[in-house]
Structure 1
Amino acid sequence: MCKQKKFSLGFCALLVAGFLAGCAQTNEAPVETRGGFGRTATTVDPATLPGAENAGKPGYYTVKPGDTLIRIGLEHGQSWKDIAQWSQLANPNVIEVGQVVRVVPPGTAPGEGRATPTATAPVQATPLPPAGGTASAPAASSTNTSTGSAPTAPSADVASLGLIWPAAGNIISGFNETTNKGVDIAGKAGDPIVAAAAGKVIYVGEMRGYGQLIIIQHSKDYLTAYAHNQKMLVKEEQTVKKGQHIAQMGSSDTDRVKLHFELRRQGKPIDPVRYLPAR
């Protein structure tokens, strides 16, 4: 009886050891990272991923951990739908680390046909009291402190947009290329946010760090972004007019009610205050 019991225990031990060994062999799961619109994507050998032959070429971008198609579009001044189409993505909801996507239209060299900045003098802007007419602290400086260099003059095509202020509040955080890629405008929950210029809505949704976000494309070079909204009043592909009510101010994915407003040229953030009228 003892011998039989010892045999059974030994056999069970062997089974358990074999099971664990099998788990060790099959548990080499690929690393998972956020991809597409925030869903997980699997990393594999980059050489086997779509677009691998274009890695490093101008006009293409290699997906990094944490990327989403929306963020890639914002950083390159393009609609996520255009990038998905140009890259012939079978499923735009999922992109993989190491995958290469096209971020300029096919047949177009990077920077081709882009406007050259002119020597127009910078527009001086003063903050408007917030909605309701109550006084608030002075606006923060919008000087680009990341470089310490003199501001670059606005280009003629920026001036042609005729930008207006998207919200009626004081600036509480100025532009800085490394720490704040736009300006933060104070207000209270529900205050109106308007389109700074006429254009086409290319994104309405959520993005980490931006909360409820709207992106409007004004030309092939310029887009504006409106973040931390409480309620969004437009849809993707919708054409909007300058001054049109597009959202209500909120505090989504941030610590206070405010509008984070960005102006980007070819995906590069630039100080919007210098292109807005005095008020």
Structure 2
Amino acid sequence: MRGAAASPALLALFALLTASGCAVVPSSVRPSDARSSAVPPIELAELHEPHPELELVSEPPVPSSRTHTVAPGETLYRIAVNHQLSVEQLATANGIKDPRTLSVGQELVIPGAARPIPVATESSPPPARPPSTSSPTASSRGPLVSSPSRRPAGRPLPQKPPKPVPETKGTLDWPLRGVLYARFGKKGREPHDGIDLAVPVGTPVKTAQEGEVLYAGEQRGYGLIIIIQHSARLITLYAHNRDLRVRTGQKVRRGQVLAMVGESGKTSGPQLHFEVRVDGKPVDPLDYLGALPSS
């Protein structure tokens, strides 16, 4: 792999790169306004409170049961409001530190329990009320909206299993911290063999793992690129650079600066196009990258 002569493997790789290329960045996407793009940066999902217009208060609370079984569509916030409690009171009484750990069928202790105030949920439309034979005063209170129906104890609703974490997760480091606005797969009708990270021009690009520079130069569509071989099967590619800081055949360490982000090649804005290939075939880099860098 050393020297100017191109190996058959490198020539085959260039053929694949020429066939696939890199999807063009929309002209409206720039690092300055990348946060408003269609695909947001990778962030922890935020907890959303229910819409206030879906809450219907009925009768004043009266003493009732001291447990509550979590039904589909319910959140800690909804349950707390339903029982006239604050989220902190309900979480403390049940030793809950993260509201996202709440699961369907879970039994919650309701401190100082009062009769629940029914709350409408988006997942369960209000059932029809049977004709009432009580006094006109009762009928003037308005319709009651119940919580979702519950299954008998011991028969929780089936839950969709979470997506398993690939064994390769964490094999590679992020080459930089930027706005992820183009993912692996397809971009429109064109294949997209990597991910695109929007960052300012001149941002340092670092190698995802130690290895050897298979190629450092210019490639049609990709602009100034660097290809690093980490093992007999695994390579990474860094494209659209402004300038290169390594040369073909050079050994590099993990986290070493390879280049500076630019706008070379087929792109309409400064970005890093990052690819991971196994046995010459592109794979989703997010299945290999570990935690985001702090800076």
Which one has the bigger helix percentage?
Answer: 1
TM superposition score normalised by structure 1: 0.47
Q: RCO higher in 1 or 2 (8 Å CA, sep ≥ 6)?
A: 2
TM superposition score normalised by structure 2: 0.45
Bigger radius of gyration: 2
